[in-house]
Amino acid sequence: MKLKPLIFFFVLIINSLKAQYYNLPNDYFFSIFTEKKLAEINDNIHTNLKPYIPFFSKKYLYVTDSHSVYKNSSLSKFIFLNHAIKIESPTEKFKLQLDPILNLEMGKDFADSLNNKLYTNTRGFIGSGQVGDKVYFESMFVENQSFFPNYINSNAKLNLVIPGQGRWKSFNGGGYDYAFSSGFVSIQASKNFNIQFGHGKHKIGAGYRSLLLSDNSFNYPYARFTQQWFKGKMQYTTIYAVLMNLVPASLIQLPNTERLFQKKAASFHYLSLNITKSINLGFFQGTMWQVGDKKNQQNLSWQYFNPIIYSNLAAYNLNHTNNVLIGTDIKIKLSNKLNTYGQIMLDDISDTSKIGKSWGYQLGLNYFDALGINNLFFQIEYNAVMGSSYKSPTNIVSDQSFTHYNQTLAFGPGIGTELVALTDYRWRRFFLSMKYNYLIKEIDLKTKSNTTNFNAKIGYLINPSYNLSFSIGINYHSQNFYNFSVLNNQTNYVYFSFKTNLYNQYYDF
């Protein structure tokens, strides 16, 4: 059989198709172009719950700009523009795309006197497809080996997980071996009703952080039901999830069996209202239900399946064994280029609780094409979380906190305040991204710390379809403990990477 015609036909099929983004809570800087386009739309779209559901509007499908200089040949399109593999049936009833996930990163921490080797080696794949006009599916798997800077290394050992990426095994004397996967099936049951089943995570809000539900922690199994009403002005979402505490599920572990961890159920309700074309208001309720028994079985009451928002608040209040957290968020469109946003979170505000008042708020502003400069983005945000927010009520022993895999489901840095500023500039495919965080964290009642994070990178976007880029950057981290100067630590990590930036990695804590 002659291979040349087959190869030519295969390449022709691949390069005749348009790019489509992957439906993740995407890397923050990668998603800026999508958010910029959505900010320019005067329509009933809902942008404060991610990942988006493209079935409700094709306007969610925007992909970062791909420049015409790479459209001259099939080979240049393959390298610089299109997905690695993309197949579409002649009737367009079936579509499939596959791409590699890579992170080949090496660097040096100039503040490390031991001169430890630092690198990350990530290999994996991501794929998605569509069957007809009602079913969309997606799957991702990655395998990693990493040697981290000291502050990330300490966090991984303390929490037993790589931040946001799951449990690890020791690798080559001081390194970490870890893998994770995600995937889902999305079914458009009717014009205004979508059902998803999968393993992944969600994010609520317009900010860099979320005080309600964030993609800060590890993936989890979930079922998501989303409805739209009143010509799209109202969107209502219910998410049922199974989370995990990294404690043994039973007192006795059978020989030659994998260790099982304690499960807990969670339900999240989010109501998004487009009050006007410029104002979006959201209402949130999250409930952490009882953990599994000694056989790791969960005996859930019928209220777990109750889809009505704030009904759990009425039934259990904010200091019940079934741990309830509520909140609201707002986004105001000042212009097509300038948005302001905020959140309020209430966990436990009772005066009788030993925990004290636990609540938080967020204020922020994002600015697209800032100062009239095309593709210059700026954002500033302030977050404050008080008391012992997200923790279990005081009257129970088991861990029913708003956590998963030893990480909070919402505000990642923990109790305290944070100022974060981000900027990003794109010229053709060259980019400059910077992020600054200043945190004042409450370690306990007697100990506080202030932490400075600064990350800057300059690079070149090779392929926008799966955000493959080359970059050189610096990650500066400094943490100072009040009254404990001996424990102060600093990181000056300089690195270069060849990376598929598709999902967020939060190392600024």
Dump the DSSP string for 249-272: SSS---TTSPPPEEEEEEEEEEEE
48 near 39, Cβ under 8 Å?
A: no
Q: How many residues make up the chain in this entry?
A: 509
Number of H helices, E strands in the chain: 5, 26
Give per-residue pLDDT as tens, 71-126: 556 777 778 888 899 899 888 889 999 999 999 999 999 999 888 899 999 999 99
Of 9-18, 351-360, 407-416, the least confident: 9-18
- Which whole number is the average pLDDT over 2-6? 43
- Going by pLDDT thresholds of 50, 70 and 90, the confidence category of residue 48 is very high
Q: In whole angstroms, how far apart are CA 430 and each of 34, 76, 422, 464? A: 18, 17, 17, 12
- Kindly report the backbone phi and psi dihedral angles of residue 151, in degrees, each rounded to the nearest multiple of 5, phi listed first: -70, -35
SS3 45: coil
CB atoms within 10 A of CB 390: 25
* Alpha carbon 72 to chain centroid, angstroms: 36
What is this structure's pTM? Answer: 0.90
- Kindly report the backbone phi and psi dihedral angles of residue 441, in degrees, each rounded to the nearest multiple of 5, phi listed first: -110, 140
- Which whole number is the average pLDDT over 434-457? 90
Q: In whole angstroms, how far apart are CA 215 and each of 26, 49, 83, 409? A: 10, 11, 25, 7
Give per-residue pLDDT as tens, 144-178: 999 999 999 999 999 999 999 999 999 998 999 99
- Residue 483 gets the label, from left (phi > 0), alpha (psi -120 to 50) or beta, of left
- Cα 151 to Cα 169: distance, rounded to the nearest angstrom: 18
Burial of 173 (0-12, 13-18, 19+ CB in 10 A): exposed
CA dihedral (27, 30, 36, 41) in degrees, to 10, reads -70
SS3 390: coil
